[in-house]
Amino acid sequence: MVLAFARAGASVVIASRKLDACESIAAEVTERYGRDALAVGANVSSWNDCDGLVAAAYDRFGRVDVLVNNAGMSPVYSSLDQVSEALYDKVLATNLKGPFRLTALVGTKMAAPSSTSRRSRRFHPRPTQCRMGRRRRDWRP
């Protein structure tokens, strides 16, 4: 996804628990597409890491136009009744808690009136209402 956004002309933030992997992709983005790329080491199951990730993105770029919550885990287990509370909590933190926190932080800023625009950006957190491309004139939130 990062390469596709960069190819389309976007500056990008690449975040993962593995900073070295992020830095490698950021270098590729800059080399191949000449776009600015910020690598951030972050564990999205931690609200502090989410806060730091969002702060780093806004410090570097001043705004975020697209948020892709792509972190997730689906561990293999022998049977459903063998899932431990610790594993359940870890999966929930990564798959729900992190995306919720990032969407809350970035979405609030996206929905706020922009100082560089006469109208505010529209933010619709329900996935069925989010799409890329031109907005249909008859579409209503």
pLDDT digits (tens, 9 = 90+) for 7-55: 999 999 999 999 999 999 999 999 999 999 999 999 999 999 999 999 9
Residue 113's pLDDT is 82
Which of 40, 34, 42 is CA-nearest to residue 17? Answer: 42
- pTM beyond 0.85: no
Higher-pLDDT residue of 130 and 76 is: 76
Q: Which CATH class is domain 2-116?
A: alpha beta
Amino acid 22: pLDDT: 96
Percent of the chain surpassing pLDDT 70: 80
Mean pLDDT of 105-122: 70
Query: How many angstroms separate the CA atoms of 130 and 141, rounded?
Result: 10
